[in-house]
Each structure stands twice: as structure tokens, then as C-alpha cells.
Amino acid sequence: MSYAAKRIDHLVGKAIHSREMIHDGDHVLVAVSGGLDSLSLLWLLRERQKKIPIRFRMTAAHVDPGFGSDSAERVETFFSEHGFEYRLIRSDFGPRAHNDENRENPCFLCSRLRRKALFELARQMGCNRIAYGHHKDDLIETFFLNVFYGASVSTMLPVQEFFQGRLFIIRPLYLADGDLIRRYAKFMGWSGIDLGCPTAGHTKREQVKEILDTLYRGNKKIKGNIFHALHNVRPDYLP
């Protein structure tokens, strides 16, 4: 086992245990976009099923945004070849979000529609957990996106409750760096699956990522400091 595999397995275990993300008898719906983050999460959760003393069920779910690529078929092949229980949702969310009347923020609408579809699937299947592959970099980038464009001081939560506790979103990769996940995926021999999104690589998130990457290159401590700051909020010193 590579260092990346050992390290990411440890961080996922720490996240699940410290935040009590999964309980005995849970049914976890794992949201798989086809990116390296969600593929890694799916695999790591199944490995964790073999190690921990609690029993939980997991089902992989992919929402095809409908851009016309073969991404859905490739994701389904991954599921079936590796023996995952899965559900595939076909949609037109991508083209709807990129119509002429919604040029300002197509990513927001597409994400909201896909999340709504996953919530409905979770309800139908009796899943009480939805697991997303968001990692440390995503939490940091979301914080700055919300500050710059949403005028709010907030980010993603490791565990988030919905519908009076009937459903929880969990993010078991939230302690892991994106680079660590990429090294783990390389060790596993995976490549990401392109959804065919026309705005991929040209989003506000990419702009924020470029700014942060410039800062990180100048000082390796900055990313860790920002992440720790998210856990060290001082409301008395905010207006």
C-alpha cells in the first residue's frame, strides 16, 4: 500500500469517527460525479465497511447532467465492474442550467438540481445519509466563494442535518487535501470521467483556486492556517 493510500484511509477513518458520520444500520447514498474525489470516496467507504465494527449499507448514485457525453456509461461501467450497488439518474440539468436566461451562475443551478434529485432518491430508497466527495480544498474554496460572491462567512459542513434529522449529508474526505486524493487515485490507476460540461475549468471556483494556489506556493503554511481558522472562529471580533 502506498503512503497516499495509508494516509487517506487514516484521514477518512478519523473524520468518520470524530464526527460520528456513520452509525450501525445506516444506508449511505454515495454521490459519484465521476471525478477522482467521488470515485476515491466510494472505494474508501467500501474498504471501511470491512474494518469497522458497525454494519452499514451503501449505494452509489450518479446523476447524469445530460451534456451528451458518454460519462454516464463510463461511470456505470465502473460501478458494475467493481460490484457496487448503484442507481443512475438521467437528466437534462446541465443544458437547463446553461440556457441563455441563466448565464450568470449555471453551476449553482445545476448543482441544486442534482442535489434535489439525490435527496429524492435517498427518500425513495430509505437512505439516511448522503456522502459527498468534498475535501479540504473544497471547504477552503467555498469559504472564499461565499465571502467574495455571497457576502457571507460560511462554508461546507463535515456533517449537515436536514428534515429534522431524517437525512444527513456527510463529507468523509473533508480532512484530506486534493493533492493527496489525486495521488491516491493515481496509485489506484483511475482517471477522472469528463461530464462534458462547457464551463468546466472556467468557473468562479477555478478563479478562487488560482488565487489560493499562488498564496500556497509562497508559503506552505497558509492552507493549514486557513483550514484551522475555519475551526477557530471568534464571533466577538466580528462586527
54 belongs to a structural domain: yes
Closest Cα partner for 56 from 97, 28, 92?
A: 28
| Domains held by the chain: number | 1
- Tell me the residue ranges of DSSP E strands in 45-85: 57-64
Q: Tell me the C-alpha distance between 110 and 213, whole Å.
A: 26
12 belongs to a structural domain: yes
238 belongs to a structural domain: no
pLDDT value of position 74: 96
23 belongs to a structural domain: yes
pLDDT value of position 68: 86
Q: Tell me the C-alpha distance between 18 and 45, whole Å.
A: 16
103 belongs to a structural domain: yes
34 belongs to a structural domain: yes
pLDDT value of position 80: 97
Which residue range forms the structural domain that includes residue 102? Answer: 3-233
pLDDT value of position 98: 87
Which CATH number belongs to the domain containing residue 131 in this structure? 3.40.50.620
Report yes or no: 119 and 127 within 8 Å, Cβ to Cβ. no
pLDDT value of position 69: 85
pLDDT value of position 199: 85
Q: Compute CA distances 144 → 87, 111, 126, 140, whole Å.
A: 33, 18, 35, 7
User: What is the residue type of 116?
Assistant: K
pLDDT value of position 105: 78
**pLDDT string in tens for the chain (239-residue length):** 799 999 999 999 999 999 999 999 999 999 999 999 999 999 999 999 998 899 999 999 999 999 988 999 999 999 999 999 999 999 999 889 888 777 677 888 899 999 999 999 999 999 999 999 999 999 999 999 999 999 999 999 999 999 999 999 999 999 999 999 999 999 999 998 999 898 888 889 999 999 999 999 999 999 999 999 999 999 999 99
